[in-house]
Amino acid sequence: MTYENILAEKRERVGLIQLNRPKALNALNGPLLSELAAALQAFEADEAIGAIVIAGNERAFAAGADIKQMASASAVDMLKGSFVELFDAIRAVTKPIIAAVSGYALGGGCELAMSCDMIVAAESAKFGQPEVTIGVIPGAGGTQRLTHAVGKAIAMEMVLNNRMLSAEEALRFGLVNRVVPQERYLDEALELAAQIASRAPLAVRLGKEMVNLAFELPLSQGLDAERRAFYFLFASEDQKEGMQAFIEKREPLWKGR
């Protein structure tokens, strides 16, 4: 499938999606988000893909929702446009998604990165929620995911006063997994994705689901859900294979069953 606003390709077991509106700093408009959702669904359905990387370019991961598209919209247009709802396509993906962020990750761009499961940042990365400077607030999870990630104090400063975080600050505050030299950010994200894609697929899927549940459930219910998922994996061929391979001192051969 070919797209106009993104590039999508397979790198062995990793699906790579690159946002491709460089002249607009990858501003997220409806067509781009629709294509992103379609590419994610295609990789989700593809058994050969074990993990996904979403990247922008060196200058910008994404500078936010497309302000030119939104400027004259009414509340009803926003509601009917299902624009922000397209972010839900990311939440629906069961495979791990890594954001490879270089340059600006602002507004919806920061929210897109935070919707992913992990973030690899180049030294140039800048994270911010500048919506207050254009008369709105984050609408695609910024107030919620940012607060979970960096805590109330920093989230308040970012949402209320457009404080931007450097890559190093983002690492210190727990927003990103690692900061790497500029020329390495995409390769590092692809290598991390390839490593995860080499793990037992069902275990990876349930591991992701359980970590995400930690944000939804009280501890006692989260612990119960985790235990059921743990027991469930003993019904898989990969659990038998993984433990037998350990005992036989050999590499496991995963079937995803």
Query: Rg for the chain (alpha carbons), in Å?
Result: 19
Decide: is 98 part of the binding site for ligand CAA (CB under 6 A).
no
Which of 6, 19, 25, 55 lies at the binding interface for ligand CAA (CB under 6 A)?
A: 25
CB of 41 to ligand CAA, least distance (A): 21
Decide: is 140 part of the binding site for ligand CAA (CB under 6 A).
yes
Decide: is 66 part of the binding site for ligand CAA (CB under 6 A).
yes
CB 198 within 8 Å of CB 13: yes
Kindly state the tokens that stand for 204: 């990876």
CB 114 within 8 Å of CB 150: no
Decide: is 86 part of the binding site for ligand CAA (CB under 6 A).
no
Helix axes 108-115, 142-150, angle to 10 degrees: 60
Q: Which is nearer to ligand CAA, 8 or 140 (CB)?
A: 140
Classify residue 95 by burial, with Cβ atoms within 10 Å: 0-12, 13-18, 19+.
buried
Decide: is 30 part of the binding site for ligand CAA (CB under 6 A).
no
Decide: is 24 part of the binding site for ligand CAA (CB under 6 A).
yes
Decide: is 65 part of the binding site for ligand CAA (CB under 6 A).
yes
Name the segment binding ligand CAA (CB under 6 A); options: 5-13, 36-44, 100-108, 227-235. 100-108
Helix, strand, or coil here: 166?
A: strand
Helix, strand, or coil here: 14?
A: strand
Decide: is 96 part of the binding site for ligand CAA (CB under 6 A).
no
Name the segment binding ligand CAA (CB under 6 A); options: 133-141, 194-202, 209-217, 229-237. 133-141
In sign, the C-alpha dihedral spanning 59, 65, 69, 71 is: negative
Decide: is 134 part of the binding site for ligand CAA (CB under 6 A).
yes
Name the segment binding ligand CAA (CB under 6 A); options: 103-111, 164-172, 178-186, 244-252. 103-111
Residue with token string 């501890």: 219
Decide: is 90 part of the binding site for ligand CAA (CB under 6 A).
no
- Show the CA angle centred on residue 120, arms to residues 62 and 37, nearest 5°: 50
- Show the CA angle centred on residue 19, arms to residues 98 and 112, nearest 5°: 50
Q: Which residues are catalytic?
A: 65, 108, 111, 131
CB of 39 to ligand CAA, least distance (A): 19
Q: Which residues contact 214 (CB under 8 A, 6 or more apart)?
A: 222
Decide: is 63 part of the binding site for ligand CAA (CB under 6 A).
yes
Residue with token string 């607030």: 137
CB of 188 to ligand CAA, least distance (A): 24
Residues of the shown chain interacting with ligand CAA in the complex, contacts defined by CB under 6 A? 24-25, 27, 63-68, 84, 104, 106-108, 111, 130-131, 134, 138-140, 142
